[in-house]
Amino acid sequence: MKRPTFPTFSHIHQTVQNVNELDKAQASMGDRAADWVAQIVGSWTFIIGQSVLLVIWIILNVTAWINHWDPYPFILMNLFLSMQAAFTAPIIMMSQNRQADRDRLEAHNDFLINKEAEEEIRAILVHLEAQNEALAEIHRLLANLSQKQEAS
């Protein structure tokens, strides 16, 4: 009698990598600085703090409590804000580019995991098909055995 055989499947996979750790290890000092600036500038604390400073600047210059170092229309304040925007925008863009690179790394890692999962599922389906064939053969043999017992 022929015994059913089951196909074997090797379960060797690459180690799943933590994308956050990879990103952190690859980040240069400039990358970390850009992320820090983007995190600070993109916070409510920064917005509120900057708004308070601007209001104080305007009040001090309008009321002349100290001195009119920047009379209305506040050209010096506009210069400082323009300089801040000129430096902040490219730094934020550097941080966004780094985030896009990290997202690509994460997407590639997801692709590799999905590819391995697909191989595992395919192996499981092949194994289940082999089991179905083995069960059908066992059922056929039992049916033949039952017929022989009824005949005798």
Flag whether 83 is in a domain: yes
Q: Which domain holds residue 44?
A: 30-151
Residue 60, in any domain of the structure:
yes
| Any domain includes 104 | yes
Asked whether residue 124 is assigned to any structural domain, the reply reads yes
Q: What counts of helices (H) and strands (E) characterise the chain?
A: 4, 0
Burial of 34 (0-12, 13-18, 19+ CB in 10 A): buried
Q: Is residue 34 part of a domain?
A: yes
Tell me the pLDDT tens digit for each residue of 98-132: 999 899 989 998 998 899 899 999 999 999 999 99
What is the value of pTM for the model shown?
A: 0.65
Domains identified in the chain, total number: 1
Position 103 in a domain? yes
- Is 21 a domain residue? no
